[in-house]
Amino acid sequence: MGTFAISQFGQQLGPHSGIVELMDDLGVAMAQGNMLMMGGGNPAIIPEVVEVFRQRMQAIAAGPEFDRMVSIYDPPAGNAKTLDALAGLLQERFGWDIGPENLAVTGGGQTAFFLLFNLLAGPQTDGSIKRILFPLAPEYIGYANQGLHPDIFTTIPPRVDHDETDGFFKYRIDFDRLTIDDSIGALCVSRPTNPTGNVLTDAEMDHLASLAAEHDVPLIIDNAYGAPFPNIIFEEVTPLWTPHTILTLSLSKLGLPGTRTAFVAGPPEIIQALSAANCVLSLANNNVGQYLVRELFENRQLFDLCEGIVRPYYQTRAQEAVRWVREAFGETPVNIHRPEGALFLWLRFPKLPITSKQLYERLKARRVLIIPGHYFFFGLAESHPHAHECIRMTYSQDPKVVQEGIAILADEVRKVYQQDQR
């Protein structure tokens, strides 16, 4: 038997992409249980949250709802009752003009972005090529290999603000460099941002929204960590909804990553195209996540869950992680991006004498998993100094793991700087 031919598609969505490496590491680490996992994006297992879903599942399993949940293909857009409940919740919470025709389900946010990017960019029927513009690098590693056409992503490097009062830095959109021409099919940001924990300000979002309206292109907002769920966002900001907005929401960071459930809100024409493509790709969605949350959407218990438990949990975890980093690093150089949301710290080691990829390998040899920063700088016209000086570390796992991992990280970075001086 020879080696079977694998297509361009297979090379593009291939085994050497950052997200595959990340998920393999994460999977192996979680399975083996002997790694200090600060690499992946697995949310914390918060007992109070699991209990809510356990009780919902027990209630479902006790009656005929279970039969429908496991046995019936719902329409490609998702379960009608769940979509109604979500529309009602968003209307009530934010006063948005939104109905079920604005909503569709996909099997997780990753699938939603694969579909959105390739629906809104790549080869057009007139032969032209459109691209997705990310106004602010670094951005989510999982997007980098999702374009079916090569090079459909364009990214703008950040302005870097340093806050002398508390020592954090924060990335800001460099609007002077942001130009939108006819080749741009959509803008895209994550808010809070994976990997940095940045939360774009309301002023930045308003500016992006006006650009999207002016150029009549969608503004995709990856709201995987945002409001109203899971609401892992530590700043007072306003969610955006306009006729040009495509907003993705996910159940993963609420505590249900194993169900693969995301919702996409947007203009009805986009929602229809998305649902049709999702049907060809997936036939129908899995029902379990939708069934688990529907009642929480309907009775608004979701708000209590997110504001009373999920957000405070992660805010405390962020603060303790920052404290541990500062304690462990001492005089060793480290800058921390201001943690405004999500479940990561984004650390910069100024003038690090090795690449972040090399640091990743050295840490992996010491049983500590982080993600090297360069994966998050795809689509840039020129390389950015932060790409090889930064790492993403997750603080969602067991506090002992995080504290021990940070201690080893600090020790290794210190050695790197010291070896360079010799």
Q: Which of residues 223-252 bind a copy of itself (CB under 8 A)?
A: 243-244
* Between 47 and 330, CB nearer to a copy of itself: 47
**Is 365 a residue that touches a copy of itself (CB under 8 A)?**
no
**At closest approach, how far in Å is the CB of 5 from a copy of itself?**
6
**Is 34 a residue that touches a copy of itself (CB under 8 A)?**
no
Among 48, 70, 151, 351, binds a copy of itself (CB under 8 A): 70
Among 148, 160, 178, 408, binds a copy of itself (CB under 8 A): 148
Residues sharing a CB contact under 8 Å with residue 173, sequence separation 6 or more, in sequence order: 135, 136, 156, 158, 159, 200, 204, 207, 208
Among 124, 179, 319, 383, binds a copy of itself (CB under 8 A): 124
Which amino acid, 249? Answer: L
Site for a copy of itself in 281-340 (CB under 8 A): 281-289, 292
Mask: binding to a copy of itself, 71-100, rule CB under 8 A, as x and -? xxxxxx---x--------------------
Lookup result for tokens 């503004």:
219
* Between 56 and 348, CB nearer to a copy of itself: 56
**At closest approach, how far in Å is the CB of 57 from a copy of itself?**
5
Among 96, 114, 153, 263, binds a copy of itself (CB under 8 A): 114
Stretch of 216-224, 227-235, 334-342, 363-371 contacting a copy of itself, by CB under 8 A: 216-224
Among 135, 255, 339, 379, binds a copy of itself (CB under 8 A): 255
**Is 217 a residue that touches a copy of itself (CB under 8 A)?**
yes
Asked if the peptide bond before residue 192 counts as cis, ω within 30 degrees of 0, the response is yes
**At closest approach, how far in Å is the CB of 56 from a copy of itself?**
9
* Between 53 and 324, CB nearer to a copy of itself: 53
Residues near a copy of itself (CB under 8 A), total:
98
Beta bridge partners of 171: 160
- Nearest residue to 152 via CA among 173, 179, 129, 181: 129
**Is 30 a residue that touches a copy of itself (CB under 8 A)?**
yes
